[in-house]
Structure 1
Amino acid sequence: MSWIGRAASPNGLRVFEAAARHLSFTAAARELRSTQSAVSQQVRALEEQLGLPLFERIYRGVRLTEAGQALFVSVQEGFATIDRTIDRLQHRHRHPHVNILTDFSFAAYWLMPRLPRFRERHPHIDVRIVTNQGVLDWRTQEVDVAIVFCDERTLAAGVPRLFHEEVFPVCSPGFLQQHGPIESPERLAELPLLTLTADQGQSWLDWPSYFAQLAGIGYLESSELTFNNYTLLIQAAIAGQGIGMGWRGLVDDLLDGGMLVGLHGLALRSPRGYGLIDAQPEASSEAKRALQEWVLAGAAQPRDACEGEVGRTRAE
């Protein structure tokens, strides 16, 4: 069919489509703001180009031949595809979008509570969030920005840091009332601890490394609740089922709301942390730039309420 595309002009096909849809040269001329004779000449020229009769002239009108009917279906499908593409491109121009890759924890506890503020400021930007609990590889996905937990080497390579990895035990107010005070690593190790597994290569702190770095004591993980999803772990802590490890920047709103209590005297800090990665540095856009600036500004806002209570910290 490629020879048809070369022989038939786009304008001729448009005139043919209108005439075939109305089964009337006169009605097609009204739609196209032309004349009946001009439409008839365009159709005749198209028939000559293709070497096929497309219409049968009948009393007070026309009807499609078998070839005309087949061409009509194809032309309508082609024009519909073009119209959909134009609509999609115009929508994208009017509503630019930015795709964010991050983990469930950051999306649930930092990004989603703050995202309405971004949308209020930039209502024309569509934000699409892609989440994964495993190791996040932004190079293999169609995303513009990645907000991921990074090791020291990645951050040292120039990736903007949103906040350091600062962890401290968290529990429900009721759990603390029942088991408190909890003021030493030794006392903490005696209590039910909620464990987040790192079986997919994540580099965040776990309880054994936390106790070793904070106090130089060994800790064997007990048979308490273990999760591979931080959101579920936090829900268990809120329900009073044990003590979880809280990350500064993720649990702040839960602490402010009184759903969790932070044992800040047992805080530990490392050089790792969440970083903001431009997944497509060669592709610049106002939407991506606006989101990056907003994320960096939001992460830079101080959390003064808890700063004075942070106790022992130690860099790896």
Structure 2
Amino acid sequence: MSWIARSVSPNGLRVFEAAARHLSFTAAARELRSTQSAVSQQVRALEEQLGLPLFERIYRGVRLTEAGHALFVSVQEGFATIDRTIERLQHKHRHPHVNILTDFSFAAYWLMPRLPRFREQHPHIDVRIVTNQGVLDWRAQEVDVAIVFCDERTLAGGVPLLIREEVFPVCSPSFLQRHGPIENLEALSQLPLLTLTADQGQSWLDWPSYFEQLAGVGYLGSSELTFNNYTLLIQAAIAGQGIAMGWHGLVDDLLENGMLVGLKALRLRSPRGYGLVDARPDSPGEAKRALQEWVLECAAQERERRTKE
């Protein structure tokens, strides 16, 4: 930084910006609650510091020189950047925020229906949700908390378990009426199964693993539809296009309101499940702590309610 740049008065730049924007010392003085002569003196002092004329004095006004125009553009950009930064810092101070990373399925069917309760309890906390359907790497993203589908090793490493993986076939009531009863794996294997791909290494159950673990044989049928988005897959099941694999904790509301029917006699449990990960353990904060406590409380309440059913 040159000596001239260091010696330029910030107030002089502010006066210059107002005068250049209005192309009038009088109007600038009115905006700044100063006088025309004071504005003129500030501008003249700035010109002397820079060794450049910034304005041409013309009849009943002023106009910018080439140097004045270049400085005006830069000063406006600089003040705008400062204003945005101050606003962002003040907003962050007024409204602490927490960034959550999770997959589309959990966000749509577990988090979003419950989030209004958190917002009611903590109206001052801004919640930002980041979703991805692939393997979720919370270390590579700017997030505070991650709610991810975890394998046994991750859960054994101290990640709190929210929902244990429990799956069962689900379909629309009309589909069951047309094709039922569906009481065993043989009947299930003859029907169109809606498949959620795991082409990015996700560890959740798929139909081949489901049949292998329940019956010891692989499923040899062909699926009618394959999706990489669980939300779309569930919409296809609601529309009666086939049987989907339903996860406990995600499809519960759809079962309760009758949009789907669960074939729970064919359920399968695994040691995997959704876990709550502190993505920034070295960065504590009120917002993150409040969200973590709320998520754990919701999960505990639902486990307790389920044991009473």
Fold shared by both chains (TM-score > 0.5): yes
**Secondary structure of the residue that 1:181 maps to in structure 2?**
coil
How many residues of Structure 1 are paired with residues of Structure 2 in the alignment?
308
- 2:16 corresponds to: 16
- 1:91 corresponds to: 91
| Contact kept? 1:171, 1:243, Cα under 8 Å | yes
Report Cα offsets for 1:12-67 as digits up to 9, x if no partner: 21122223334444443343333444433332322221112233445655444332
Question: Structure 1's 229 and 75: CA in aligned 2 closer, same or farther, altered over 3 A?
Answer: closer
Question: Structure 1's 173 and 10: CA in aligned 2 closer, same or farther, altered over 3 A?
Answer: same
Question: Structure 1's 188 and 307: CA in aligned 2 closer, same or farther, altered over 3 A?
Answer: farther
Q: Distance in 2 between the 1:303 and 1:260 partners?
A: 21
| Gapped regions of structure 2 (runs ≥ 5) | none
Residues 109-148 of structure 1 aligned to structure 2 (within 5 Å):
109-148=109-148
Instruction: State the Cα distance separating 1:160 from its structure 2 match.
Output: 1.4
Identity among equivalent positions (%) equals 84
Deviates more, 1:134-143 or 1:191-200: 191-200
Q: Distance in 2 between the 1:260 and 1:308 partners?
A: 22
Q: Distance in 2 between the 1:218 and 1:186 partners?
A: 11
Deviates more, 1:100-109 or 1:110-119: 110-119
Instruction: State the Cα distance separating 1:141 from its structure 2 match.
Output: 1.8
| Contact kept? 2:189, 2:219, Cα under 8 Å | no
Q: Distance in 2 between the 1:68 and 1:239 partners?
A: 66
Q: Distance in 2 between the 1:164 and 1:201 partners?
A: 19
**2:57 pairs with 1:50:** no
Report Cα offsets for 1:143-190 as digits up to 9, x if no partner: 222111000111111111111111112122233334333333344334
Amino acid at match of 1:33: R
- 1:312 corresponds to: none
CA RMSD across the alignment: 2.6
- 1:220 corresponds to: 219
Question: Structure 1's 187 and 305: CA in aligned 2 closer, same or farther, altered over 3 A?
Answer: farther
- 2:297 corresponds to: 297
Q: Distance in 1 between the 2:306 and 2:37 partners?
A: 82
Q: Distance in 2 between the 1:228 and 1:80 partners?
A: 43
| Gapped regions of structure 1 (runs ≥ 5) | 310-316
Amino acid at match of 1:218: V
Q: Distance in 2 between the 1:82 and 1:292 partners?
A: 34
Instruction: Normalising by structure 1, report the TM-score.
Output: 0.86
- 2:65 corresponds to: 65
| Contact kept? 2:211, 2:219, Cα under 8 Å | no
